[in-house]
């Protein structure tokens, strides 16, 4: 564990009780308390080695949760939006992960230092009008250190209604799509965003929000979070989840 990860774990341990208390009061997640769960299918994009093996590891069923960071009750006020993907080994959708599953958390935020302007640049009226970033670095088996993001299909179609209605219409039209991309940081690999897989959002599903708990350290597909921010998340998430269990 590097110095940044040690510091992150320490800071998260200090902040954890506050997140626990906030989650207990809200009876929900401190952040991203409100969202939709979607059944999805991951299809690898044709790539060259060494990207091919990584793309193929992602293939199969997935669970996607699209959420708001702060506001509840369908309020489309300035906010950050989130997209969490669980790459699943089992076609059955349940709240609990299966062996080999992978959770990756994304948000409409490139870096923690860009947090204030991100509230203004996020298109809060449409989940499919934003790109979502993994924020902190990852180590991807077969690629080394890398950044991750999800991009959305910009069709130019002007949909009406709330962001939920727009999402449902896009799924009905077969245009609800997220593309999983990687930016390698290792020498000898192209330092550019490379598409690995398309994530097709198929239909909305209802799961128990209390039992559904994503874990950024669930790394069954060989994508390992690292660095200060990810290490900070571990104790914070644990405390927040415990707070949700107390109501």
Q: Is residue 10 part of a domain?
A: no
- pLDDT higher for 139 or 111? 139
* pLDDT(147) > 80: yes
Query: What's the pLDDT score for residue 246?
Result: 43
For residue 46, give the DSSP letter. P
Count the Cβ atoms, other than its own, within 10 Å of residue 91: 9
- pLDDT higher for 28 or 155? 155
Q: Is residue 17 part of a domain?
A: no
Q: Is residue 3 part of a domain?
A: no
Look at strands 34-44 and 102-107 and give their pairing: unpaired
| E strand segments, 206-238 | 223-225
As for how many domains the chain has, the answer is: 1
* pLDDT(179) > 80: yes
* pLDDT(43) > 60: yes
Token pair listed for 198? 């398309």
Q: Is residue 169 part of a domain?
A: yes
Q: Is residue 220 part of a domain?
A: yes
Q: Is residue 22 part of a domain?
A: no
Q: Which residue has the tokens 């990584």?
A: 54
Q: For residue 118, what pLDDT band results from cuts at 50, 70 and 90?
A: very high
Token pair listed for 34? 């409100």
Q: Is residue 23 part of a domain?
A: no
C-alpha 214 chain-centroid distance:
9
Q: What is the C-alpha to C-alpha distance for residues 141 and 224, in angstroms, rounded to an integer?
A: 8
Rounded to two decimals, what is the model's pTM?
0.87
Q: Is residue 86 part of a domain?
A: yes
Nearest to 201 by CA among 228, 169, 162: 169
φ, ψ of residue 85 in degrees (nearest 5): -120, 130
Q: What is the C-alpha to C-alpha distance for residues 169 and 159, in angstroms, rounded to an integer?
A: 8
What is the average pLDDT across 161-179?
A: 96
Domain that holds residue 40: 33-225
Read off the CATH number of the domain in which 109 is found: 2.40.180.10
């Amino acid at each position: 564990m590097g110095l940044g990860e040690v510091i992150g774990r320490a800071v998260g341990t200090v902040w954890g009780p506050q997140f626990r208390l906030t989650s207990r009061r809200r009876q929900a997640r401190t952040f991203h308390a409100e969202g939709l769960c979607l059944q999805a299918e991951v299809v690898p994009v044709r790539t060259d080695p060494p990207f091919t093996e990584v793309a193929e590891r992602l293939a199969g069923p997935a669970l996607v949760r699209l959420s708001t960071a702060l506001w509840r009750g369908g309020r489309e006020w300035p906010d950050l939006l989130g997209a969490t993907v669980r790459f699943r080994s089992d076609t059955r959708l349940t709240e609990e992960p299966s062996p080999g599953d992978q959770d990756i958390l994304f948000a409409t935020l490139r870096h923690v230092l860009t947090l204030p302007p991100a509230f203004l640049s996020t298109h809060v009226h449409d989940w499919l009008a934003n790109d979502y970033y993994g924020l902190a670095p990852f180590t991807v088996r077969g690629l080394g250190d890398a950044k991750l993001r999800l991009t959305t299909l910009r069709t130019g179609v002007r949909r009406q209604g709330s962001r939920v209605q727009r999402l449902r219409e896009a799924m009905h039209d077969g245009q609800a799509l997220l593309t999983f991309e990687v930016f390698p940081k290792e020498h000898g690999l192209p330092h550019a965003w490379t598409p690995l897989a398309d994530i097709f959002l198929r239909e909305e599903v209802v799961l128990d929000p209390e039992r559904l708990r994503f874990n950024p350290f669930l790394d069954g597909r060989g994508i390992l979070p690292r660095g200060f921010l990810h290490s900070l998340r571990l104790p914070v998430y644990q405390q927040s989840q415990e707070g949700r269990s107390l109501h």
